[in-house]
Structure 1
Amino acid sequence: MPAVLGTDAVVTAVSVALVLDRAHQPHPLRTAAVATVAWISVRALRHRYRTGDLGESRGAMPVLHDWLILVASLAVLGVATARTPQPYPALAALLPCLVAAVVCHRRLHRHLTAARRAAEAVDRVLVVGEPGVLEAAVHRLASRTDHPYAVVGTVVAVDDPLAGVPGALAEGALAAAAAGSERLDPGLDGRAAGHHVVEAARRHDAELVLLAPGASLTGDRLRELCWVLHDAGLEVALTPGLVETSVKRLTAASVAGLTVLRVEPPLRHGAQAALKSTVDRCGAALGLLLLAPLLLLLAALIRLDSPGPALYRQVRVGRDQRTFTMWKFRSMVTDADSRKDDLATRNECDGLMFKMRRDPRVTRVGRFLRRTSLDELPQLVNVVRGDMSLVGPRPPLPDEVAAYDATALRRLRVKPGMTGLWQVSGRSDLSWDETVQLDLHYVDNWSFSSDLDVMSRTLRAVVDGRGAY
């Protein structure tokens, strides 16, 4: 925390003082001091220096929100004191503190992620629940390493005294949880159950108790259990069983003494949807205009490298299962589609998509285009026409959609995108299930700010090239 706070203070003070002095603005040192105090205050009020929150969010949007609040606050202060510097020098002076905060934020997130993969910077968690509910929660926690919960044991409520945690928990990464499994008699009242759980937490040196309630852990019994755990100095968390639901869509309320979580529906209409559509079409049109020389150069290189047209069109499935013609730069030989069946046994994707790291149909220029994602640029035409969005799920082929189950079909509730969570999370290196889960998370939880975050992360994914083949 001191390092982050110090970086914010030094970068803001130095950049504001130097830029305003070079721009011959009045009172550069005094303005630098005010800007530094304002920046640190905004960040502190939004809990950016709290130890438990450092590095938790992977996106740059929270930092941008802080910076916009800083700019607005300084503008209001300047108007109130009649000492407003010229706007362009002022913005130039404040930009370095935004850049430094974003860089620092990303480094902290990478450091925290690496530490958690090594089982460091985590909370030791005891999971309490009933068979099935408990198993699902433990499986979910064990499947990822980007969260602070490390399961050290379980307490399962079962009627059969010989029963324990389901056998699947003893496999792989869940062995530790199974080894630390204990049983809880569902007939115990809340206080007695609480004392049993407290003893188990102390034996496993747990810092937090995660409750996964079922039929026998509800109402007054659950409340009494929380009383005992809190009186013993243990932190308590409760999982309602929701998965891949953004906390931004949840609102807690108390109704007739019941604690209720209201789940807002996914954004489909309204101001954010209209803004997304406007940005999509205007951004794509501007991109086509600015990138026209590059597009012509790439088309010429493709024609020189192999016989055939520079552009490749293919029928894809869009929102609500409507088909459209998608455009790409041709990266394969002209008879690639007819040779696909011959290569079916060499498919390296575990799901419905076809992917090969060294596909013999890809041309020399095509390998470069795929590595840099430049083959996707003609899809800007699809965005202008309204068939696609700048950000969204990957557009599937009709034969893939024909094999979709009801869960996978939900990917088609929004327009497909040129980039998305799939691209910035590993692309073809992801399994089919991971791809579907990322797309479903986007469909249910997208917002305009999350789209901006994905677009900012796309550049890094393209430069990195991981999973692009």
Structure 2
Amino acid sequence: MRVGMGESDVVLLEAVPRHASSLWTRAYLRLLLLGDVVCALACCASVLGVRVSFGAYIPVAEIVLGAGLIVAWPLSMTMAGAYRQKAHGEGTDEFRAVFNGGVGLMAAVAIGAYATQAVVARSFVMATLPLAIMTTLAFRYRMRKRLHTRRAVGDYMRHVIAVGHREAVLDLVVQFRRQPHHGMEVVGACLPPGKLDTDLEGLPVLGSFGDVAEVVAETGADAVAVLACPELDGATMRRLAWSLETAKTDLFVAPALMDVAGPRISIRPVAGMPLLHVEHPEFDGGKRVVKTVFDRVVAVFAVALLSIPLSLIFVAIRLTSPGPAFFQQTRVGRDGRPFEVLKFRTMVVNAEQLKSALLEANEFDGVLFKIRNDPRITRVGAFLRKYSLDELPQLFNVIRGDMSLVGPRPPLPEEVAKYGADVRRRLVVKPGMTGLWQVSGRSDLSWEESVRLDLRYVENWSLILDLQILWKTWSVVTRGEGAY
């Protein structure tokens, strides 16, 4: 039975333009196609221009071949899946598709030239196509950042109907609102029968589980997100998928294992049933050795490169406030082993003694202690904290083996004493100088959200994930967001 919609719900639905997502998606794809062609044209013209400047003779056949490669470039991107909508906005699928398409075209040119004994200038295979790959990747990255900027103000969003229980729906709404670059906006919810009068903090409840297809038709939503709940069994999900086929509405299903992703998950048919197979995370063996070597090598190079800035910060702290430049504090590392973390001092010398008088001003909703305008922070310390420069001495902790470049936040012993069994899972890997918590809000995160991100990293860590987090850390730190 459909639930009646109030006046506020009607206003909200009128504000959601039908098929808006498909309109901007087509425009965005056309812009990507045009940009890819321009990248290929610019690279081909640049290589030919350099050859001419060095006195090389360019036969007409090579010019024709260059024109053919410019035409073939977007075709190779299409075959590799670089224009699929699901590849845009987040993840590495888009960049992987561009790379695979470029390499595939290089291989086709090389094999074709060998098979036909055609004389092809090496510049096409050794310079033009590799340069086109790098240029297209740079263009796609710039387009992605532009897309994220527009989504941060509410543009280019896909409208989603959330299906599930109240708590799961609210959690999904919070996640999408905190990270708008995903391009998902929940515009309505379908709850279990008997729960239709539940308050969802302003989000309209448009129907029950049996009304999803009708709600999608009325709202013009682009996708349906089904959250884990026992009422929606296999037969119900199959019928829901069939009902959404005609309108080409995307269907997303969130498994119960919310924080397990990537190569650990695969679907395997067993006895005619598609079963979700979840592999155990690897905390030892070759992957751990590679991570340890990577951490220490990068940390050594970073210390050498930052030696002058480190010295200047040291002098600035000593000249502006009495006391040592460094601050050592006991933290808990891998497997619960304590170690001394090294940081630049950002507070007055007796900060720990003053902490008890400030406990009532704590702004954090968990075991952490955080105050946005902490009176114990020095003037230089405020600047160092804003841009996380006070964390740089932890490079020596990485070299020493106490920490990693990427990992969960290093906790205090009194925090660990309050951990439950689930939270202690954070301690199975080394703490990091940065992590998912650093690139997802820093001190603006709640305690529960910080723990969830740390556990997600523990469950899915890999060297590729570390590289992605390190790349994102740079932009987060330079903006100085969420640090205090």
Answer whether TM exceeds 0.5 for this pair: yes
**Cα 1:38/1:456, change in 2 over 3 Å:** farther
Matched, 1:302 2:330: no
Aligned partner letter, 1:416: P
Identity of matched residues, %: 37
Residue 181 of structure 1 is matched in structure 2 by 207
Q: Could you report, residue by residue, the CA deviation over 1:357-385 in whole angstroms, capped at 9, with x for unpaired residues?
A: 22222222212211221111111111111
Residue 410 of structure 1 is matched in structure 2 by 425
Matched, 1:105 2:120: no
The 5-angstrom pairing of residues 126-165 of structure 1 reads: 127=163, 134-145=165-176, 146=180, 148=184, 150=186, 152-154=188-190, 156=192, 163-165=194-196
Shift of 1:241: 2.5
The 5-angstrom pairing of residues 200-279 of structure 1 reads: 202=217, 211=226, 217-218=232-233, 221-222=235-236, 225-226=239-240, 229=243, 235=249, 236-279=251-294
Residue 4 of structure 1 is matched in structure 2 by 32
- Aligned counterpart in structure 2 of residue 171 of structure 1, from 171, 175, 200: 200
**3-state DSSP of counterpart to 1:260:** strand
Q: Quick one: distance in 1 between partners of 2:110 and 2:209? A: 65
Q: Quick one: distance in 2 between partners of 1:425 and 1:231? A: 35
The 5-angstrom pairing of residues 315-394 of structure 1 reads: 315-394=330-409
**Cα 1:71/1:314, change in 2 over 3 Å:** farther
**3-state DSSP of counterpart to 2:258:** coil
TM-score by length of 1: 0.81
Aligned partner letter, 2:137: L
Q: Quick one: distance in 2 between partners of 1:365 and 1:200? A: 55
RMSD (Å) for aligned C-alpha atoms: 3.3
Q: Quick one: distance in 1 between partners of 2:336 and 2:326? A: 24
Matched, 1:431 2:446: yes
How many correspondences in the alignment?
436
**Cα 1:322/1:39, change in 2 over 3 Å:** farther
Residue 189 of structure 1 is matched in structure 2 by none
Shift of 1:200: 6.0
Please, which runs of 5 or more residues in structure 1 have no aligned partner?
A: 128-132, 158-162, 185-195
Q: Could you report, residue by residue, the CA deviation over 1:91-144 in whole angstroms, capped at 9, with x for unpaired residues?
A: 66754333222111221233245436xxx63245363xxxxx633442333223
Residue 161 of structure 2 is matched in structure 1 by 125
Is the 1:155–1:197 contact (alpha carbons within 8 Å) kept by the matching residues of 2? no
Aligned partner letter, 1:152: G
Is the 1:419–1:455 contact (alpha carbons within 8 Å) kept by the matching residues of 2? yes
Is the 2:260–2:459 contact (alpha carbons within 8 Å) kept by the matching residues of 1? yes
Aligned partner letter, 1:372: Y
Residue 190 of structure 1 is matched in structure 2 by none
Shift of 1:181: 2.9
Residue 18 of structure 1 is matched in structure 2 by 46
Is the 1:373–1:462 contact (alpha carbons within 8 Å) kept by the matching residues of 2? yes
Shift of 1:10: 0.8
The range that moved more, 254-263 or 103-112, is 103-112
**Cα 1:307/1:238, change in 2 over 3 Å:** closer
Aligned partner letter, 1:141: L
The range that moved more, 238-247 or 393-402, is 238-247
**Cα 1:250/1:295, change in 2 over 3 Å:** same
Shift of 1:249: 2.5
Q: Could you report, residue by residue, the CA deviation over 1:151-191 in whole angstroms, capped at 9, with x for unpaired residues?
A: 5342635xxxxx334x6x313044x02xx23476xxxxxxx
Q: Could you report, residue by residue, the CA deviation over 1:419-441 in whole angstroms, capped at 9, with x for unpaired residues?
A: 11111122111111221111111
Aligned partner letter, 1:290: L
Shift of 1:399: 0.7
Aligned partner letter, 1:84: R
Is the 2:88–2:94 contact (alpha carbons within 8 Å) kept by the matching residues of 1? no
Please, which runs of 5 or more residues in structure 2 have no aligned partner?
A: 1-28, 114-119
Q: Quick one: distance in 2 between partners of 1:92 and 1:327? A: 43
Matched, 1:48 2:79: no
